[in-house]
Structure 1
Amino acid sequence: MRRNHLADLNVFLEVVEQGGFTRAAARLGTSQSAVSNSVKRLEAALGLRLLNRTTRKVSLTQAGERLADGLAVPLEEIDDQIAALSSLREEPSGLIRIAAPALAAETILWPRLSPLLVQHPDLRIELIVESRLTDIVAERFDAGVRLGESIDRDMIAVRIGPDLRMALVCSPSYLDAVSPPEHPRDLVEHNCINLRLETLGGYYVWEFEKEGRALNVRVDGRTAFNTPRLCCAAAVAGQGFTLLPEDHVQEDIASGRLVRLFEDWCSPFAGYHLYFPNRRQSSAALQSVVKTLRLR
């Protein structure tokens, strides 16, 4: 096979990883027909059918499965070598893909990275909001953002945000209508707004700590959401208690729309960190991103 088929091999692997031509085209920033033609060109060069195509799905042939299994690591190594070459340039360039939770993306990453793009015209940033624990290596991200306590030990982690605290809140109208809880465990008797976590598939178990004593409370209520913003809105509307990061509720507390309880049971915990594999740190583009985001 000629070296000019390397691009077609990369397209084929993207089709496999994305499960179809349409999603692969979106990921590669090209048309579905261009992706299809690239795979056809590769099949013609090999003299083998790599994909079984139907109107609903794409599946691998035996030859396609064998090729896909052998491609992932070599192509990733090529990407790493190309990324390493960029470190020889004085000007950061190329694409940096980052997976991050919405709060971190909106309040930390984008405000700091936007000026960086102005300074370096050849630098590109793709910021993908993910609430799940993304496998940044498998999904070809250059870096990810998580809370410090949830980062794998084999990753390099750089603090980009201060410690965080949770805040237990409800509306004044709800608190006036009930007997206020005297202890966090009393929340099981109240209407609470649950947050469903995509990372675990279930509801967030409310975590409290005071003077080194940890307490987990499994609450219940009439409403549940999978975004903190909706939990906050429901609390403002008088639907009950909710437990959210301070950043999500500070404005509503300051305005009086929400009141806070058991602040002494909400201890600080490690905030957001940028993390990435050790082999990625040689990229000049990633180095500039790390330097910009690092908490000073």
Structure 2
Amino acid sequence: MRREDWPDLAVFVAVAEARSFTKAASRLGLSTSAISHAMTGLEERLGLRLLHRTTRSVAPTAAGERLLATLVPAMEGVAAAVDGLAELRDEPAGSVRLTVHRDAALRLLAPRLPELTRKYPQVVLEIVADDRLADIVADRFDAGVRLGDLVDKDMVSVRIGPDERAAIVGSPEYFTRHPPPKTPQELRQHRAVSYRHSSGVLYKWELEKDGRALTVAMESALVTNEPQLIVEAARAGVGLAYALESHVAAHVAAGALVPVLADWCPRFPGSFLYWPSRRHVTPALRAVIEALRIDRPR
């Protein structure tokens, strides 16, 4: 293998992991045509097809899978060695790329950013706020922030926010037209402001009391993927909303929203910062971890 093949091998890894020439081009800062040209040249020099290409998808061939299994650990080892040199600096430096669910980005990270940037001026934090469950390895994130019950068990994680609790709320005006539900079964007499996941799945309300768990599929008056819009629509009387208690507490205190079925609203783990257990933790990422954590690693 010639030294000049290394850039094309890096292109191959990006395409194989992203399963897309377009996504790989975006990740590497290259044009799609440059990615295609690099892959064609690499395959011609090797005399092997590394990728199956169709108009809709890209996937490694058997030869590509074999090469990928060797290249990824090797490249991670090189990256770890280079990152390790940063430990010789007087202070942490470099970029840290995070995928964060939008609520945590606004409520948990934003208030801590001024202190973090003052304490570590050479650390550049990139936050991609997205409720999609990104693959932090394939999408080249250094770490992610998700609710605790959504973090894979093979990840290392630290708590960055308190436990959360659900709340079912409606406006006083809404309850003048519809009697407040007193049992989960009575929820079916109401319409909801519903949340749709980025996967396209409509969220079913999760209830729990005395060890008994229920899932309720509500009839929708409005469907959105924006949590704040759910709260505002509930305040406007569109329907009932299932939201984080922390999102509606101020409105409940002001009388703009009225909670119902509080004894059926479960608690669940709050937000955690997580990263792959096998990944080398750079000084820059370690600085971010220490700035955000509120407990010890799990």
| Same fold? TM cut 0.5 | yes
- The separation in 2 between residues aligned to 1:56 and 1:294, in whole angstroms, is 41
- The separation in 2 between residues aligned to 1:276 and 1:64, in whole angstroms, is 26
Residue 256 of structure 1 aligns to a residue whose secondary structure is: coil
Amino acid at match of 1:100: V
- The separation in 2 between residues aligned to 1:168 and 1:231, in whole angstroms, is 11
Residue 222 of structure 1 aligns to a residue whose secondary structure is: strand
- The separation in 2 between residues aligned to 1:280 and 1:55, in whole angstroms, is 34
Q: Tell which deviates more after alignment, 270-279 or 158-167.
A: 270-279
1:275 and 2:274 correspond: yes
- The residue number in structure 2 matching 1:265 is 264
- The separation in 2 between residues aligned to 1:295 and 1:173, in whole angstroms, is 40
Amino acid at match of 1:285: A
- The separation in 1 between residues aligned to 2:45 and 2:152, in whole angstroms, is 41
1:109 and 2:104 correspond: no
Taking the TM superposition and a 5 Å limit, the aligned residue runs for 1:1-296 are 1-32=1-32, 35=35, 39=39, 42=42, 46=46, 67-68=67-68, 70-198=70-198, 201-280=200-279, 282-295=281-294
The answer (yes or no) to whether the contact 1:280–1:286 under 8 Å persists in 2 is no
Residue 127 of structure 2 aligns to a residue whose secondary structure is: strand
Report the CA distance between 1:291 and its aligned residue. Answer: 0.1
- The separation in 2 between residues aligned to 1:159 and 1:256, in whole angstroms, is 32
Unpaired runs of at least 5, structure 2: none
- The separation in 2 between residues aligned to 1:30 and 1:58, in whole angstroms, is 18
Amino acid at match of 1:225: T
Residue 165 of structure 1 aligns to a residue whose secondary structure is: strand
The answer (yes or no) to whether the contact 2:169–2:257 under 8 Å persists in 1 is yes
Amino acid at match of 2:128: I
Residue 179 of structure 2 aligns to a residue whose secondary structure is: coil
The answer (yes or no) to whether the contact 1:281–1:287 under 8 Å persists in 2 is no
- How does the TM-score come out when normalised to structure 1? 0.82
Change (3 A) 1:165 1:52: closer
Report the CA distance between 1:110 and its aligned residue. Answer: 3.6
The answer (yes or no) to whether the contact 1:53–1:59 under 8 Å persists in 2 is yes
Cα deviations by residue, 1:19-67 (Å, 9 ceiling, x for unpaired): 4444323222345565456556656765777668899877768866664
Change (3 A) 1:52 1:262: closer
- How does the TM-score come out when normalised to structure 2? 0.82
- The separation in 2 between residues aligned to 1:19 and 1:126, in whole angstroms, is 23
Change (3 A) 1:51 1:278: closer
- The separation in 1 between residues aligned to 2:79 and 2:261, in whole angstroms, is 50
- The separation in 1 between residues aligned to 2:132 and 2:212, in whole angstroms, is 28
Report the CA distance between 1:258 and its aligned residue. Answer: 2.1
Change (3 A) 1:234 1:146: same
Query: How many aligned residue pairs are there?
Result: 295
- The separation in 1 between residues aligned to 2:293 and 2:250, in whole angstroms, is 26
Amino acid at match of 2:138: A
Residue 161 of structure 1 aligns to a residue whose secondary structure is: coil
- The separation in 2 between residues aligned to 1:44 and 1:12, in whole angstroms, is 13
- The separation in 2 between residues aligned to 1:58 and 1:138, in whole angstroms, is 14
Change (3 A) 1:252 1:269: same
The answer (yes or no) to whether the contact 1:96–1:126 under 8 Å persists in 2 is yes
Q: CA RMSD in A?
A: 3.2
